[in-house]
Structure 1
Amino acid sequence: MPKPRRPRAVRPPARAAALPRHGGLTVPWITGWFDGRPYFGVNFPVRRVQAITYRLCQFCRQPLGRRIGLVVRPADSTAGYVDEPGMHPECLDYAVAVCPMLNSTMDRYRAKPPAAVAGLLASTPARAGKPAEAYEAWFITPNGYEIAYGPDGTVLGIRLDVPVLMKKPVRAAARPRLTDEHAALLRAVLDLESSPEGPATP
């Protein structure tokens, strides 16, 4: 099995200079900390709602500007909103460069998140252990920033049925891995188990 690629060295945006660092990476403001260490990919629920409601960048916490970057999956397009807050374009670029899910270093979601944070991963049951989805970066303006609410007033995310300045691919969907059972079935269907020299003669 090939060794996972290390994220390429990239300098974080200047606006994120005050953020803590861990393992050589800048820790996004929205990231959850447990037992003195950050769990990348796990967002503080309260900070997520604060960022969406007050138009803050999920990475650096500063107010969003004239262009707002959103990381969008096909499932988000279907739902009509993205549940993660927006980012400054430069903060999004840094996240894409170093995040193993966004830069294609990882091809599957975590199978079992740490017990301490499992309760904060609302998407865990749906995505756990599954192949990574395709991701795109969408850019909108402040005029197109609209919050999606649930029937009970819960903040769901940022609406996607708004004018979009630009869309660009971030990563392709990972290919599903063949299980041993599926591989055996495929060999049987293709008759790969038979001898290339044909059946033996008596």
Structure 2
Amino acid sequence: MAGKRKPKRATAQHEDLSKPSKWRLQHGSFEGPVRMDDPETGTPVAHRRAVDTLGAMLANGTITQAMHDAGAVFRAQFRAAALDTVRASPLIRIPGGTGDPLTERNVDARRKVAAALDALGSQDSAAGSCAWHVLGCEASVREWAARQGWGGKLVGHSQAQGILVATLGVLAWHYGLDKGRPGPANRPGAELGTERGRHP
């Protein structure tokens, strides 16, 4: 008498952990893996970098390298200024403390962000709002256009992308990254707020 065959047990399909998950790929693409040594262990690892809005626009040829770099400078200054709303809670709490004091680095970065926003026409302008939300808070252009917009009015996606391109062009001039004349941020005495070194 032949024995009954046992049904094959279905093996669970395991996701390849060396690649980004399907869920993560829905939220933006990645560059190819870059192989390098881990600084702590020395073992070779593959790093994948997520392509952000500026990286995608640079790859498409929508913006120049100077515009991309200007956006990166503004983003770095925005982070150093601690202006984003998401912050880590301090692990050590001092009783009776009044909050986290700003360091000189934070204050200096806030001055630079304020100067950049002034060059864009203030934070209330279309370019200033775009720089704050898209470059600083790292929202997508579509998200900024749909949720924030400018002056309480929603902005179409193509118009929002045009505003971002114009914003990056002004920032490239402001930081002196454009091959033309140096921007105000790079003039002598600019950090002191003096008029010394102003070009005619």
TM-score > 0.5, shorter chain as reference: no
Scaled to the shorter chain, the TM-score interval is under 0.3
Q: TM-score, normalised by structure 2?
A: 0.24
**Structure with larger RCO (C-alpha < 8 A, sep 6+):** 1
Task: Give TM-score, length-normalised by structure 1.
Answer: 0.24
Larger Rg, first or second structure (1 or 2): 2
User: When you count strand as a share of all residues, which structure comes out higher?
Assistant: 1
